[in-house]
């Protein structure tokens, strides 16, 4: 069996007529299972933008699903921070479009149980299960379980985590003093006495939405909420009995020390990847920070902590809600192009945000081959460029990276992965650079 996967697919334009994408699509179609993170919703008219959104309202017409199918994708991850950019209705509309096309997906549903449960793909080589979750989401996006007296709530499958901010005794004393003089200690005590707060860690100092613990030296730690970690592991164990290959996928922007969209991987993500492979997953596919993160081979199973972007066409969304204009201080007469101009450049004209770093515009596509006993036999890594240097109407569409660019992408990935004990050997095939992970 052959599994391939990509990271974030923000698709707003047709790619089926693009010869550069066609070469990639040919490789994707050669896999038995090809997974993509669907990071754009397909809400039906009239669209209702949410007041809480994942950085930008991402929406496209339903035909983008046909374009993704043309590319060769047959498994879709729908749990991410943009799943409810157009409220629950945008999510349920998208799920309906996927079901109408008989597309296998996971990570979202009409209740928490449905969002947690696997999606299944039937292939000539065997049955593939996908379990999908996200640790990056807006507050109201979480699905809720049904009860005998109340229906559930549509939404996504969350992996919640907790932050532990650790300070030494002297700094904790300073923080307690600040807490007292600000009056926040008294306010918190009143709320707790009134029963408005559930206290999980009585030993912690809770200040301005964060929990501080006393320790020997300062540290920023994250760990998974046991309930979510265990419930997802339970579904993985269920899928292990139901499928030949089990893939778990996580959308996570979080990095070390509370950073986001950065090269580092937060501790809780590593914890989840290891726990879920221990529970029976054959592969862990991560995405979210829009850039590559390291590759690890754990107990003979591949972990891709982030595959970055595969399609990044956020600058050609046709319509945007009022919040996007207000965010950039634009008048009511402004157009979408004005928003994208403000988004991509600083006042002096220098590139800004995603446009200031080429790392957001390059990635790899792994092709994982499993033997007859479904043991990992090979991981080949094919570097991809999203062409930051192109005009807006072409930028964000993927190509196999040219040889020298591909070697640079793979060299960076090899360097970051070496810290996890993963060796990536860089070679070439068909005039392109290709990486092979040592198993």
CATH number at residue 101: 3.60.21.10
Same domain, 258 and 377: yes
> What local confidence, expressed as pLDDT, does residue 196 receive?
66
Beta bridge partners of 229: none
> What local confidence, expressed as pLDDT, does residue 32 receive?
98
Same domain, 190 and 105: no
Angstrom distance (rounded) from CA 162 to CA 167: 16
Same domain, 61 and 176: no
Same domain, 296 and 207: no
Same domain, 112 and 193: no
Cβ neighbourhood burial of 419 (10 Å; 0-12, 13-18, 19+): exposed
Residues ≥6 apart with Cβ < 8 Å to 309: 7, 8, 10, 290, 291, 360, 361, 363, 386, 396
189 is a domain residue: yes
Angstrom distance (rounded) from CA 137 to CA 31: 30
The residue from 160, 183, 211 where one domain ends is 211
124 is a domain residue: yes
CA 231 to chain centre: 19
Cβ neighbourhood burial of 43 (10 Å; 0-12, 13-18, 19+): buried
Count CB neighbours of 222 within 10 A: 20
398 is a domain residue: yes
CA atoms within 13 A on the CB side of 417: 29
Same domain, 193 and 54: no
Which tens digits make up the pLDDT trace of 339-364?
Answer: 999 999 888 889 999 999 999 999 99
Residues ≥6 apart with Cβ < 8 Å to 135: 158, 159, 160, 161, 250, 251, 252, 253, 254, 268, 269, 288
Instruction: Check: CB of residue 108 under 8 Å from CB of residue 155.
Output: yes
> What local confidence, expressed as pLDDT, does residue 191 receive?
81
Same domain, 61 and 87: yes
302 is a domain residue: yes
Number of domains composing the chain: 2
Sort strands 210-214 and 205-207 into parallel, antiparallel or unpaired: antiparallel
151 is a domain residue: no
CA atoms within 13 A on the CB side of 420: 24
Which tens digits make up the pLDDT trace of 159-185?
Answer: 999 999 999 999 999 999 999 999 988
The pTM of this model reads: 0.95
Same domain, 181 and 249: no
Cβ neighbourhood burial of 201 (10 Å; 0-12, 13-18, 19+): exposed
The residue from 183, 211, 239 where one domain ends is 211
CA 324 to chain centre: 22
163 is a domain residue: no
331 is a domain residue: no
Rounded to 5 degrees, φ, ψ at 63 are -65, -15
Q: Any long-range contacts for 186-190 (C-beta under 8 Å, 24+ apart)?
A: none
Which strands make up the sheet holding 283-287, listed edge to edge?
119-123, 126-134, 245-251, 283-287, 301-307, 292-298
Counted residue by residue, the chain has a size of 439
Running DSSP on this structure, what letter comes out for residue 199? -
Q: How far is CA 267 from CA 33, 161, 222, 250, in A?
A: 29, 10, 6, 14
67 is a domain residue: yes
Same domain, 108 and 14: yes
Same domain, 31 and 102: yes
Same domain, 111 and 14: yes
What are the residue ranges in the chain where pLDDT is below 70?
Answer: 196-197
> What local confidence, expressed as pLDDT, does residue 197 receive?
65
> What local confidence, expressed as pLDDT, does residue 194 receive?
79
Same domain, 230 and 206: no
Residue 179, domain extent: 169-211
* Alpha-carbon torsion (412, 417, 419, 422), positive or negative: negative
The residue from 211, 242, 261 where one domain ends is 211
């Amino acid at each position: 069996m052959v599994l391939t996967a990509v990271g974030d697919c923000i698709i707003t334009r047709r790619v089926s007529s693009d010869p550069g994408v066609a070469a990639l699509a040919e490789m994707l179609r050669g896999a038995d299972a090809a997974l993509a993170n669907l990071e754009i919703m397909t809400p039906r008219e009239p669209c209702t933008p949410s007041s809480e959104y994942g950085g930008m309202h991402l929406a496209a017409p339903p035909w983008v699903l046909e374009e993704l199918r043309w590319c060769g994708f047959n498994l879709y991850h729908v749990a991410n921070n943009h799943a409810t950019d157009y409220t629950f209705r945008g999510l349920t509309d998208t799920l309906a479009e996927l079901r109408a096309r008989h597309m296998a997906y996971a990570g979202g549903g009409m209740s928490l149980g449905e969002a947690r449960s696997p999606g299944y793909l039937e292939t000539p080589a065997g049955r593939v299960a996908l379990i999908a979750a996200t640790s990056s989401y807006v507050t109201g996006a979480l699905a809720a379980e049904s009860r005998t007296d109340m229906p559930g709530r549509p939404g996504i499958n969350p992996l919640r985590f907790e932050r532990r901010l650790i300070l030494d005794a002297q700094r904790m004393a300073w923080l307690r003093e600040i807490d007292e003089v600000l009056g926040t200690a008294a306010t918190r005590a009143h709320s707790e006495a009134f029963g408005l707060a559930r206290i999980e860690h009585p030993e912690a100092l809770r200040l301005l939405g964060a929990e501080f613990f006393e320790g020997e030296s300062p540290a920023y730690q994250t760990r998974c909420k046991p309930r979510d970690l265990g419930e997802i592991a339970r579904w993985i164990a269920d899928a292990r009995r139901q499928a030949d290959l089990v893939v778990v996928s996580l959308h996570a922007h979080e990095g070390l020390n509370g950073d986001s969209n950065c090269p580092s991987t937060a501790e809780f993500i590593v914890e989840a990847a290891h726990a879920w492979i221990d529970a029976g997953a054959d592969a862990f596919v991560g995405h979210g920070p829009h850039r590559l993160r390291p590759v690890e081979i754990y107990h003979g199973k591949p972990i891709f902590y982030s595959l970055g972007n595969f399609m990044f066409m956020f600058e050609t969304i046709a319509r945007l809600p009022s919040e996007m204009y207000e965010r950039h201080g634009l008048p009511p007469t402004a157009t979408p192009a004005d928003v994208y101009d403000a988004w991509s450049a600083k006042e002096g004209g220098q590139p800004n945000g995603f446009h200031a770093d080429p790392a957001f515009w390059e990635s790899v596509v792994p092709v994982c081959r499993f033997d007859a006993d479904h043991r990992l036999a090979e991981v080949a890594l094919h570097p991809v460029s999203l062409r930051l240097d192109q005009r807006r109407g072409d930028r964000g569409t993927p190509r196999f990276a040219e040889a020298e660019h591909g070697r640079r992408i793979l060299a960076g990935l090899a360097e970051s992965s070496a810290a996890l004990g993963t060796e990536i050997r860089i070679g070439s095939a068909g005039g392109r650079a290709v990486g092979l992970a040592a198993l």
